[in-house]
A and B are shown apart, each in its own frame.
Chain A
Amino acid sequence: MSDVPAPGDAAVRCPHCDEPVPPGAYCGNCGGHLADAEAGRRRFAYAAAPHESVHRAAVVSTLFPHLPHRHAHVFREVLGGGVAVVILLAALRLYTPATIAAALLLPVLYLLYLYEVEVYEHEPVPVLAVTAVAGVVLGMAYSLVLQHVSQLALAGTGSGPLVSGVLLPVIAQLLMVAGPLLLLSRAHFDEVLDGLTFGVAAALGFTLATVVAGEWHVLTASLRGSGVPTDSMLRIVRGGILAAVVNATTTGLITATLWQRRHHRGRGRHRSAWRGLPASAGVALVAQIGLGLASYFIQDLLLDVVVWAMAAALLLVWLRVVLHHALLDEGGALRVGAPAICVECHHVVPTMLFCPSCGAARSAAPKQLHVRAIPAPEAPA
């Protein structure tokens, strides 16, 4: 790392952090927009994917934040294609494959993502064991216990709203957070996005297990089912995909803010009680309880799916707001490193906390690349 640029190095003074930084669109130290003194929070450019607004309900750039946008489109295509295949299978009344494909879609993509960005660093087995695998085991146990407690009723459940809408969703949420807590004390997993990734992995494992265990009867029924395909389609989309997104978002929200609080990597520039751990845990639990009560009281499946989809979208935006400010807040003293390639925009820029050219947070780059920057290519002789 070199020293702070001297005035003669054509440094500019950032209007947000007041540090001399290399010129560019963004401050490499605080991530603020250099040309606009009012845009310290730059809500138009999400810190993990600056080409997107913060207030956007995007699944991939929110739950897979380490992916550079030139690579994220493949995951987005696969996710979209997968949802289309699930709907097609359900329309053909192939409910068993449709249910399994819906349950597997996000977990498989997430495993590929973990491999691609190496969030687990040199400990893939322990990390996967206490996140995804622990989520599967806890989800299976939760589902099996619930099957013995659940009672057949004309209204859809024999349990009252307190049990169905409040108690069970809270228990499920706590179980999803349990696995990642074992990694909280690891010093080298100290970034907000580490917490997010572990939480999302555990939640996706949990949801996968609850879908497979809960729908085992459907899976072992005739391969080609009966009934109205629209109903089954809606049920599969809600249980396999929307529930996975909701659970991943609420769990990621809790674990990300837990990591932020535990490891104190923030500079306090973007701190707010609304984005802290108590507020995030409150939002996650209120969302789970709200959806539990909605499923209890709403008897029309289509309306239920619409409510779940809207909740998933709102939670994604809330999570992005929390992550965006946490990424802008992370960091320490001003340091300007040797020129390296930004994995987000592919420009050769000084190695800093943020890319001066596109504003991407360096801690949102794939783990192996933000630990070890890609050196700029040699200029031709």
Chain B
Amino acid sequence: MSLAAFPPYGAVPHAHVPRRLPDRRVRILAAGAVAAVTAAVSLVAVLVRPTTQACGFYCGPHVEAPLRAAATYVNSAHGFSIDYSPDDLQVSTDQPDLVEFQAVNGGPIGFRVVQAASLDAAVTQAMRRLPSSSFQDLQEVGPVRGAEIGYVPGKGTVWSATYYPSDGGGSSPVRIAVIAAQSNGLMVVSTMVSAYDAGNDHAPYGLSDDNVFDYPVSNFHFPGSQ
């Protein structure tokens, strides 16, 4: 609809309509405010960045509480079993090909039965399975030396990542360790996610829940290996 169709109503120049903020000032104020606050918060964030301190010579031995109770998870579909401590871990997912434990005060560890061309391929598959919406900034830290599941030698890799929970909780730095091993025709991949602990020599690869994960990984029993 053309406004010019109604000549009785004459138009006035734009200058007659008052404004508190001229266009140029809006641009300057918006850009200036965003830039200034961004710079200020970035500066504060950089200044308060937590520093890591290697433990080294000054740290005493890491004393763990003794294992108070033991339970065994048995997978009837594939015939494997896992010993774990119910004080530290709880079964959160139980499916024919997958069992996940959740550390009481920490991260998850999952064991998944997979079919892959090689152990390396199984590790890669496991990483791809992680939701990209929650695990970001993935960076490979390096191989897991002496990787094994149930004392069966395998292959493993550790990644660093930032975890963004899909429930909107705060982001946090995590380490992800993935180990694959095969025995008696069964290939299993274990995926462990833990909060990143940079200042503790007793947290290999920075996995703060390593001592909790170690027990079920070591006490994984492939079928026929009881």
Contact = CB atoms under 8 A, between A and B. Distances in A.
Interface in B1-39: 1, 3, 5-6, 8-14, 16-21, 23, 26-27, 29-31, 33-34, 37-39
A152 B20 contact: no
Interface stretch (B44-52, B116-124, B211-219): B44-52
Interface stretch (B58-66, B68-76, B77-85, B105-113): B105-113
Interface in A104-120: 104-105, 108-109, 111-112, 115-116, 118
B138 interface: yes
Contact of A217 (B3, B39, B172, B194): B172
A213 B108 CA distance: 24
Interface in B83-98: 92
Contacts of A154: 100, 108, 110, 130, 191, 193
Contact of A157 (B46, B136, B166): B166
Contact of B21 (A115, A155, A345, A356): A115
Nearest to B23: A74
A77 B27 contact: yes
Contacts of B166: 156-157, 164, 295-296
Interface residues of A, number: 88
B56 interface: no
Contacts of B193: 152-154
Count class of interface residues, chain B: 35 or more
Given A108-B30, A143-B170, A152-B163, A25 B1 contact: yes
Interface in A216-231: 216-223, 225-228, 231
A74 B26 contact: yes
A84 interface: no
A220 B50 contact: yes
Contacts of B38: 97, 100-101, 104
Contacts of A74: 23, 26-27
B168 A220 contact: no
A214 B19 contact: no
A300 interface: yes
Contact of A78 (B31, B39, B138, B161): B31
Interface stretch (A13-21, A186-194, A263-271, A346-354): A346-354
B17 A346 contact: yes
A260 to B, nearest CB: 27
A226 B173 CA distance: 12
A46 interface: no
A201 to B, nearest CB: 16
A311 interface: no
A348 B133 contact: no
Contacts of A301: 131-133, 136
A24 B45 contact: no
Given A214-B168, A341-B17, A374-B16, A221 B173 contact: yes
A157 B11 CA distance: 59
A373 B213 CA distance: 72
Nearest to B107: A152
A348 B20 contact: no
Interface string A65-89: 0001011001101100110000000
Interface string A328-359: 00000000000001010111110000001110
A185 interface: no
A131 interface: no
B199 interface: no
Contacts of A56: none
Contacts of B115: none
A82 B138 CA distance: 27
Interface string B147-176: 000000000000011111111111111100
A215 B170 contact: yes
A70 B18 CA distance: 12
B170 A150 contact: yes
B177 interface: no
Interface in B179-220: 191, 193-195
A152 B171 CA distance: 10
A214 B171 contact: yes
B167 A345 contact: no
Nearest to B174: A152
Nearest to B8: A23
Nearest to B170: A147
Given A74-B27, A97-B38, A220 B169 contact: no
B9 A150 contact: no
Nearest to A219: B45
Contacts of B194: 152
A218 B100 CA distance: 28
Contacts of A104: 33-34, 37-38
B42 interface: yes
Interface of A: 23-25, 33, 45, 68, 70-71, 74-75, 77-78, 81-82, 96-97, 100-101, 104-105, 108-109, 111-112, 115-116, 118, 143, 146-147, 149-159, 163-164, 168, 172, 210, 212-223, 225-228, 231-232, 235, 292, 295-296, 298-302, 304, 341, 343, 345-349, 356-358, 369, 374, 376-377
13 contacts: A96-B45, A116-B21, A143-B170, A152-B193, A153-B102, A215-B170, A216-B45, A219-B41, A223-B42, A227-B162, A228-B137, A235-B164, A376-B12
Interface of B: 1, 3, 5-6, 8-14, 16-21, 23, 26-27, 29-31, 33-34, 37-39, 41-42, 45-46, 48-50, 92, 100, 102, 106-108, 110, 130-139, 160-174, 191, 193-195
